[in-house]
Structures are given as structure tokens and as C-alpha cells.
Amino acid sequence: MTEAGNAIRIFVDADACPVKDEVYRVAARYGLKTFIVANSFMLVPKDPLIERVIVGAGMDAADNWIAEHATPRDVVITADIPLAARCVKAGASVIAPNGRVLNENSIGMALATRNLMQDLRDSGETTRGPRPFAPRDRSTFLSALDQAIVRLKR
């Protein structure tokens, strides 16, 4: 385990996260403090390492809380690309629920794609949403989370 001020933590953008149970299992295996951040009450396991953080109802309240707390020793789980960009900038390891790692090399393209799709939708264009979450995504996520933690522990 790392020293208290240098401990690895996990932050979960929890409102629509399909891999919370996987995060709980991995966090327990490594003994990592995990913050489940949401706009409303959410059941979490009764475990001293898991902390539920309920933020205000503001538009980006959960995102702001996570971005303000994320450091280079943390892992952030989110599908929110602007939040991911803020956390990458803070030096955190960022993983989407489908296992996609978002880092300095990939976040620019992810933001550009997101902005392009938003512009198309704003102009009335019909676009497809993300593909449905699949069992393979869960496996890819678990692998990416494990790799991020192992890398941070070095």
C-alpha cells in the first residue's frame, strides 16, 4: 500500500456508469479508496473504502467535484469526454466504462469527435448514439482498470 497522502484513489462518475460493481470488486482487491460521485442518492456497498459523494443538482456538479479532486495518483471512470479531458489535464488515468483509455494521446481526437457530433445534432442532423454496452466492454474495462492500477503502483 502507498503512503496516505500518495494513495491511489478511484473516482466514478456514477450517474450512468454500468461498471460500478466491477469497480467495487477491483477496488476491494487492491484496497483502494473509491469515491462514487452522483447527483442523487445511490446505493453503495457498506465498506469503509467506498465513499458515496452526493453533489448538488447543478448541470456539471459531479464533473466539477471529480475534476477538482483528481490527481496523477488517481483513476477516473467516466464516459463524459469533457470531464475526461479535465482529468487527463490534471494527470489522472481516465477510463471509459467500455474500457477505452483516454490519455494525452487520445483525448484531443475524442473531444474533436464529440464536438463534431454535437455540432451535427445542433444543426438538426440525426446521429447515432454510442453503440450498446456489451459483455466484451465489461471485460475490456476490467483489463484497463487493472492495468492502470498496476502502472500507478510502480
d(CA 62, CA 36): 10
Answer yes or no: is pLDDT of 75 > 60. yes
Q: What is the mean pLDDT of residues 44-49?
A: 96
Question: What is the helix (H) or strand (E) element at residue 122, kind and residue range?
Answer: helix 107-122
Query: Could you give the percent of the chain with pLDDT greater than 90?
Result: 68
pLDDT at 127: 66
Q: What is the mean pLDDT of residues 91-95?
A: 97
Q: What is the mean pLDDT of residues 28-34?
A: 97
Question: What is the helix (H) or strand (E) element at residue 35, kind and residue range?
Answer: strand 33-38
C-alpha cell at 100: 477505452
Using alpha carbons, select from 32, 26, 154 the residue that is nearest to residue 99. 26
C-alpha cell at 89: 489535464
Domain residue limits, the chain: 7-148
**pTM of the predicted model as reported, rounded to 2 decimal places:** 0.84
CATH number given to 7-148: 3.40.50
Q: How far apart are the first and last CA of the chain?
A: 11
